[in-house]
Amino acid sequence: MSDPIIKVKSETKITPVTSDSVISPNPLSIPGKLVEKATGTPLSNAQITLSYTSEGQDQTLSSRTNQTGHGLFSIESLTEYANKTLEYAISYKGTEYYLPSEAESQIFIQSIFSETNPENPSGSYDDNTQNIVAPFYTSPFFLGGVPLAITAIGFVFLLIRRRKKKETQKKPEPPQEPLPNNKALVKSETDTFELEIIFPQITSPFPDKWGVNENLTVKVLLRKNNEPHRKETVKLTVDDQKENNLVTNEKGTAATKLKFKEKRVYKIKAEYKDNSSAAKCAVNRIITIIDYTEEIVEIFNSLFLHFKLTLAQLNKTTTPREFQEIIIKNFSQVNKKSLDKLVSLFEIAEYSLYKLHREEYEKMFLSSRAVQTSIEKPTAQE
């Protein structure tokens, strides 16, 4: 019996990579990253699109991804969103080899005039300190009728004051790294709250995927001023419907178990409201529910497609063991043990009636990464 024809369709994943807020009127830069969903392999030279609304009109921008799968969008001015949240979407249309994907996100645009003098924004903007500097003509030393000598003395005095102020001014802190998608940080007038969703059973480097009809432990971590926030209620919802009220323990954590009966993408949301300050904190985390046997097949097909783009010997009729031989022939440095495990797991998943579980899925995922990493490493001759 000959091997069936291998399917060569690969899912993609596009992700916005940006901070939670930006200071206006600085140009707004929004990076996005495009990868193969199953393997995490970056997709280069692909066109991705950013969509948003400005002045009541739908706007779109295009960008091409680089070698790491990143594309960058730049918006020059969004004054209408000062101290407001901009909602946007980035998308990829797909090709004959890759399926389309889309992601939505938001960013808070903070106005530089919000805390200084919103009624009189005529002062200049200091790029070094990110403060509004009062207009020079407002100095009392430049009022009409003042003798020239006094004016000169006042001018020197003003320069000395400004120089001392500039020397003693606190240097701006370096920009912070964007929080992971599973964390949220909210500041009130007096406190800082941090809320996080954790999947303890899904460890690095595995993606947020879990088996259908299997119990998934979902844990929330709530902190106040970097300390555990105890005996507080956190609302947990699935797709904004199924609701659980969790009470944090002495470590600021609370947990529950969820079971998903359908294979699809779910949004898990955690929400907390501080009663004293009315500060609200909310965070989402996406979980993809899969059939492990089908996912193992998908990982192999994605890797096959990845090499098919560069190796003419591979085609739709290539069998798994022929694929293995072609890879070894073309890449002498390949991790042969991982490649053999990858092909063997695919054969079990595709050709047998045996139902595979998370253990086999994790082995398949790691084998795929090991194969790609070993091939991408430069050889001794190079």
Strands 21-24 and 47-54: unpaired
The mean pLDDT value for 240-264 works out to 93
How far is Cα 192 from Cα 226, in angstroms, rounded to an integer?
8
pLDDT tens string 316-325: 899 999 999 9
Q: Are the C-beta atoms of 116 and 64 separated by less than 8 Å?
A: no
* 264 and 289 Cβ atoms separated by less than 8 Å: yes
Write out the two tokens for 178. Answer: 């964007």
Highest mean pLDDT among 138-142, 182-186, 311-315 belongs to 311-315
How far are the Cα atoms of 8, 33, 228, 365 from residue 318, in angstroms, in the given order?
A: 11, 31, 56, 22
- Gap between the Cα atoms of 271 and 236, Å rounded: 7
Peptide bond into 27 cis (omega under 30): no
Higher confidence at residue 112 or residue 197? 197
Superfamily designation of domain 181-290: Immunoglobulins (2.60.40.10)
pLDDT at position 21 over 60: no
Asked if 88 and 46 touch (Cβ cutoff 8 Å), the reply is no
Residue 342 has pLDDT above 70, yes or no: yes
235-251 confidence digits (pLDDT tens):
999 998 878 999 999 99
- 341 vs 336: CA distance, rounded Å: 9
Cα Rg, the chain, nearest whole Å: 28
Distances (CA, A) of 50 to 14, 20, 107: 11, 17, 13
- Residue 281, pLDDT > 50, answer yes
181-290 has the same fold as 1-120:
yes
Residue 241: the pLDDT is 86
Given a cut of 80, whether residue 55 has pLDDT beyond it is no
Are 203 and 358 contacting, i.e. CB atoms less than 8 angstroms apart?
no
Question: Greater confidence, 81 or 94?
Answer: 94
Q: Residue 70 carries which side chain, given as an amino acid letter?
A: H
| pLDDT surpassing 70 at residue 129 | no
Quick one: which of 254, 272, 257, 248 has its CA closest to 210? 257
The CATH class given to the 1-120 domain equals mainly beta
Q: In the chain, what are the domain boundaries?
A: 1-120, 131-168, 181-290, 292-376
Q: Give the end-to-end CA distance of the chain in Å, rounded to a whole number.
A: 42
Backbone angles phi, psi at 341, to 5 degrees: -65, -40
pTM above 0.75, yes or no: no
| Distant-in-sequence, close-in-space partners of 110: CB < 8 Å, separation ≥ 6 | 21, 22, 23, 24, 82, 83
Query: Under DSSP, is residue 165 helix (H, G, I), strand (E, B) or coil?
Result: helix
pLDDT band at 78, cuts 50/70/90?
low
Answer yes or no: is pLDDT of 264 > 90. yes
pLDDT in tens, 153-212: 555 555 555 555 555 454 454 444 444 556 777 777 788 999 999 999 999 999 999 999
Contact status, residue 216 vs residue 201, Cβ threshold 8 Å:
yes
Residue of 202, 207, 289, 181 lying closest to 38 (CA atoms):
207
List the one residue out of 226, 152, 232 whose CA is nearest residue 193: 226
Secondary structure class of 146 (helix, strand, coil): coil
Residue 115 has pLDDT above 60, yes or no: no
